[in-house]
Structure 1
Amino acid sequence: MKFKAVLFALIVSSALGAEAPLLKDEFLPTTFEGRRAMRGEWKFAEGSATCTQDDALFKKNKDHGPILFYDLAYTDAAIHFAVKPDAANKTIVFTANGKEGHVFRVVFTRAGMGVRAFPPDEKDHKSISLGNEKAVVLKADAWTKIRVELRGSKATVKVGDFVKTYEHASIARAKANLSVGFSYGTVSVTEMVVDK
């Protein structure tokens, strides 16, 4: 009996000691502090956010499509989310931004996944390629879980069963927000959680 009491106490104390996420968006039809849904008419229902690109807005925004921004100060974090593009979708982009601009980006296209860093000393804040993964293509009309873990100069990207770590000194910079955007078609986003 004592063993069960001790085991129960350990389980409760570890559960209470677990840190709450830095951000958890349940995509309810109400507003969410720190989230900015832009460049399109986003619908929030059944635990997800969905938007269809408006071509006139796309042109007005200099070929930038709908986007969800999350204002959140962090340096190291694990960002989890899932996306579901339709067959007309051409790109989905995850970006971690600092106060001065982009820090790290993952771009999904029909040709695969590109991973980019943005060294602050690059003229015009140009990006550099950290990798191109032709085998990592998002399936149309299916949910794909994505995890981006930023720790110091390393970024570990997990997409389905694919996992790879990329490294560049510029990734270690402080971040001010993160975003998930896309171009063309309709995209749904769900399960947005940011852990320390």
Structure 2
Amino acid sequence: MKAILFLLLTGAVFAAEAPLLKDDFSALNSAQRRAARGEWKFAEGSATCTQDDALFKKNKDHGPILFYDLNYTDALIQFAVKPDEANKMIVFTANGAEGHVFRLVFTPTGMGVRAFPPEEKDHKSIALGNEKAVVLKPGAWTKVSVELRGTKATVKVGDFTKTYEHASIARAKVNLSVGFSYGTVGVTELVVDK
């Protein structure tokens, strides 16, 4: 009887811990991943791409991107990124069926945090924060964590942690993405938990 109870409890713990999404980048293709706007390479547990300037112009100044189709409202999204010296921007976005919901924008001058209220015309964003101290180091992996819970987003980048709040964050999401402009960027350790 004790053995059965132990197995049931252990199974429940493991079932509760299963992530909504985990990309170890070991496979070229994934049912939930769409790699676009560049020639992505998947090796040694990471995805890497170098911007093709002709594709960048063809895509209206939008660079390489990894999309993940996933229905969620609240989630903990974790990944690590590694830009090179030529990189000018890395963007993480949580998207709803009607468009963008929440975004982080990393540039050499800091990190911008944005929300996209659905009532805004032309789907314009509003700034929730401009964190000049949060700069990604070229050539180094930096861990990023975005926890979306109700109207709040807790962002962790390296040693930086801050919570932002806006009503639009609580909307249902249908995918997430990590994209960039210029240079070469690596992405690894992408996991989404409830």
Bin for the TM-score computed over the shorter chain? over 0.9
Deviations 1:128-163 (A, max 9, x none): 000000000000000000000000000000000100
1:100 maps onto 2:87 in alignment: no
User: Which residue of structure 2 lines up, in the alignment, with residue 28 of structure 1?
Assistant: 26
CA distance in 1, matches of 2:10, 2:56: 50
In the TM superposition, what are the counterparts of 1:86-125 in structure 2 within 5 Å?
A: 86-125=84-123
CA distance in 2, matches of 1:30, 1:112: 32
Q: 1:41 to 1:17 in 2, by over 3 A?
A: closer
Deviation (angstroms), 1:30: 3.1
User: Which residue of structure 2 lines up, in the alignment, with residue 66 of structure 1?
Assistant: 64
CA distance in 1, matches of 2:134, 2:41: 28
User: Which residue of structure 2 lines up, in the alignment, with residue 18 of structure 1?
Assistant: 16
Deviations 1:27-58 (A, max 9, x none): 01331111000000000001000000000000
Aligned length: 190
User: Which residue of structure 2 lines up, in the alignment, with residue 162 of structure 1?
Assistant: 160
1:179 to 167, 177, 180: 177
Q: TM-score, normalised by structure 2?
A: 0.94
User: Which residue of structure 1 lines up, in the alignment, with residue 53 of structure 2?
Assistant: 55
Q: 1:56 to 1:167 in 2, by over 3 A?
A: same
SS of match in other structure, 1:18: helix
User: Which residue of structure 1 lines up, in the alignment, with residue 142 of structure 2?
Assistant: 144
Give unpaired runs (5+ residues) of structure 1: none
Deviation (angstroms), 1:12: 4.1
Code of the residue aligned with 2:76 in structure 1: it is A
Q: Which moved more, 1:22-31 or 1:88-97?
A: 22-31
CA distance in 2, matches of 1:157, 1:139: 18
SS of match in other structure, 2:17: coil
User: Which residue of structure 2 lines up, in the alignment, with residue 85 of structure 1?
Assistant: 83
Deviation (angstroms), 1:75: 0.2
Q: TM-score, normalised by structure 1?
A: 0.93
Code of the residue aligned with 2:83 in structure 1: it is P
Q: 1:191 to 1:62 in 2, by over 3 A?
A: same
SS of match in other structure, 2:135: coil
1:134 to 132, 135, 139: 132
CA distance in 1, matches of 2:88, 2:150: 31
Give unpaired runs (5+ residues) of structure 2: none
Kindly report the root-mean-square deviation, in angstroms, between the aligned alpha carbons of the 2 structures: 1.6
Q: Percent identity?
A: 79
